[in-house]
Amino acid sequence: MSSLLAFEASAQTESFTRAAQQLSLTQSAVSRQVQTLEELLGVPLFQRIGRRVVLTDVGRMYLREISGPLERIRRASLQAIAFQAGGGTLNLAVLPTFGSRWLMPRLPDFYAAHPEVVVHVHSRTYLDLDVSGMDAAITVGDGKWLGVVTYQLLAEEIIPIMSADQARGGAIKTIDQLLQYPLLRVVSRPTAWHDWFAKHGYTGGGLKLGPQYEVTSHLIQAVSAGMGIGLVAKFLVEEELKAGTLMTAIDGAGTASGNGYYLVAPSGRESYPPFIQFKDWLLEMTRGAAA
């Protein structure tokens, strides 16, 4: 490690002297560390040009490959130091629309209570904790996933929404009237409209299926633009419903989907202090939202 750090500092500064100052070592110590590394690898990493040292081609390749691992070691070390004090970082995967519409407006409250914890938010449209290396995720489903611990945040009530401009054309009072509009969909829920109609006693055909969208926020924007009617979780459009820019398409249309929004973490990760602090805060926030 000493040789790697001496090499990295020398490569960045192009000087053994400046690298020594950066590492609080002597110039000769840095030079010996780099020479030891070159002997170990069997290749020259630098060209000595007067007082400067310039990377060789293989030296540039070597620097490129080791910089990432060295940075990860630094971050891991800082996180380990912060761990004892209850601080650290949390890598959180979040569904994009939940993140932008619900989580992000509330996150300053978490930082006010826990300034020692940094939450890195990563947008994900699917749950894959093992591959992505996340500490936790917020996703939607029935909560029955293997290899993770789950905490239910919010039950999901699905409602059909339409723009206020469309609503001015006349209220929708029957299923037959609803069938006259394009029905917008999210890619991850291809059967959502069929399921909704079935729960309201309609199993016939004639559904006027409209465009599909990768994320729910795009569907909401399309509805706002008057492109059709969409099915969304009610809590995601509370602000628009209150402001009157979006309307429930048909009265009494709210339906419990059977799914919920969950905070999940890989088994064994639930004792990680930053996760505990975030989990406790999040459960408190969602209890308030549910109430």
CATH of the domain at 124: 3.40.190.10
Does the structure show a pLDDT above 80 at 205?
A: no
pLDDT at 128 (0 to 100)? 62
Highest mean pLDDT among 71-75, 198-202, 243-247: 243-247
Q: What residue type is assigned to position 288 of the chain?
A: G
* Under 8 Å between Cβ of 268 and 197: no
Residue 28 burial by CB count (10 A; 0-12/13-18/19+): exposed, middle or buried? exposed
Q: What are phi and psi of 131, to 5 degrees?
A: -80, -40
102 and 191 together in one domain: no
Tell me, yes or no, whether 222 and 270 share the same domain. Answer: no
The pLDDT value recorded for residue 270 is 85
Mean pLDDT of the residues in the chain: 87
Question: What confidence score (pLDDT) does residue 36 get?
Answer: 94
Lowest mean pLDDT among 73-77, 130-134, 151-155, 244-248: 130-134
Tell whether 214 and 198 lie within a shared domain.
Answer: yes
pLDDT of residue 229: 93
| Rounded distance between C-alpha atoms, residue 57 and residue 60, angstroms | 5
**Which pLDDT score is estimated for 224?**
93
What contacts 141, CB < 8 A, 6 or more positions away?
Answer: 127, 259, 260, 262
Residue 77 in domain: no
Residues 271 and 147 reside in one and the same domain: yes
51-80 pLDDT tens trace: 789 999 999 999 999 988 888 887 777 667
| Judgement on whether residues 148 and 161 belong to the same structural domain of the protein | no
For residue 249, what are its two tokens?
Answer: 């398409």
Q: Are residues 168 and 231 in the same domain?
A: yes
- pLDDT at position 85 over 60: no
pLDDT of residue 42: 94
User: Do 8 and 59 fall within a single domain?
Assistant: yes
Which residue, 25, 41, 70, sits at the end of a domain?
A: 70
Beta bridge partners of 93: 122, 137
106, pLDDT greater than 90: yes
- Pair (130, 40) in one structural domain: no
Please check whether residue 80 lies inside any domain of the structure: no
Q: Is the residue at 41 inside a domain?
A: yes
Domain total for the chain? 3
Residue of 149, 125, 146, 129 lying closest to 137 (CA atoms) = 129
User: Looking at this protein, which amino acid is placed at residue 264?
Assistant: V
CB 154 within 8 A of CB 260: yes
User: Sorting pLDDT into bands at 50, 70 and 90, what band is 160?
Assistant: very high
Report if residue 195 sits inside a domain: yes
Q: Which domain holds residue 131?
A: 88-154+259-290
Reported pTM: 0.66
Q: Is residue 190 part of a domain?
A: yes
> So what's the pLDDT on residue 125?
74
Task: For Cα atoms 90, 96, 99, give the angle at the middle one, nearest 5 degrees.
Answer: 55
Closest CA to 247 of 155, 156, 166: 166
Tell whether 266 and 280 lie within a shared domain: yes
Whether 149 is covered by a domain: the verdict is: yes
Is the alpha carbon torsion for 171, 175, 180, 186 positive or negative?
positive
Considering the domain architecture, whether residues 160 and 252 belong to the same structural domain is answered as: yes
Determine the pLDDT at residue 271: 84
Which pLDDT score, from 0 to 100, does residue 250 have?
83
Q: Does 242 lie in the same domain as 163?
A: yes
Handedness of CA 242, 247, 251, 254 (dihedral sign): negative
- C-alpha dist (Å) from residue 175 to 68, 90, 122, 197, 249: 57, 46, 39, 8, 10
Query: Does a structural domain hold residue 75?
Result: no
Give the model's pLDDT for residue 86: 58
User: Are 150 and 205 contained in the same domain?
Assistant: no
- Residues paired with 148 in a beta bridge: 266
Q: How many residues are listed for the chain in this entry?
A: 291
197 in any annotated domain: yes
- Residue 165 has φ and ψ, to the nearest 5°, of -65, -40
Give residue 132's pLDDT.
62
**β-sheet bridge partners, residue 53:** 48
Evaluate if residue 83 carries a pLDDT over 70: no
